[in-house]
Structure 1
Amino acid sequence: MAALRQTHSVENKHKLSNTLRNWLPILHSSLSDLGEAMAPFVESNPVVEVSSGYEEDFEKRIPKKIINSSISNSRTEQIEALTIQNRSLYDVLDEQLEAPLFPTPISQKIASYVVANLDENGYYEGSSEEFCQKNGIEMAEFEKIRLRFAHVEPVGIGAKNLSESFLFQLDSSDISDEAYRLAVNVIEDLENIYAYSDEKNFSEVMRVLGTFKNPPSIEYQEESSQIVPDLMIFFNEDEQIEVKLNDAYYPTIHIDTNYGVEHEFVSQKIKEAKSLVDALDMRKATLYKVGLMIVEYQYEFFTGGSIMPLTLKTLADEFGHNPSTISRAIANKYIACNRGVFAMKEFFTTAIDEDVSNAAIKEFVVSLVKNENRAKPLSDMKLLELIQEKFKVQMVRRTIAKYRKQLNIAGSSERKKLYHLH
Structure 2
Amino acid sequence: MVELRHELNINLGLILTHQLDLSLKILSASLIELQEQIDEIVLQNPLIDIDKNYTIAPNNYFESKFKELEQSYKVKFESEEEYDELDFIEQETTFEQKLLQDLILSYDLNQKEIKIAEQIINSIDEKGYLLDYDLDEDSKRIRKLIMNLEPFGIATKNTKEFFHLQNEFFYKNEPFFNKLKEFLDTIFTFGLDIKKLQKINLSNNQVHFFLEKIKAFRPYPLYGYIKSSQEDFLYYDIEIKQIGNEFIPIVNDEFSNKLIVNETLIKQIKDEDFLKEKLKEIKVLHDAINMRHQTLLKIANIVIQKQRLFFEKGLLQPLSMSSVAILIGYSVSTISRALSNKYILFKSKIYPFKIFFSNESKEGISKHRILEIIKTAIAQEDASNPLDDESLRQILIKHNINVTRRAVVKYRQELKIPKAKDRKSEFI
Specify the TM-score bucket, using the shorter chain as the normaliser.
0.3 to 0.5
TM-score with structure 2 setting the length? 0.46
TM-score with structure 1 setting the length? 0.47
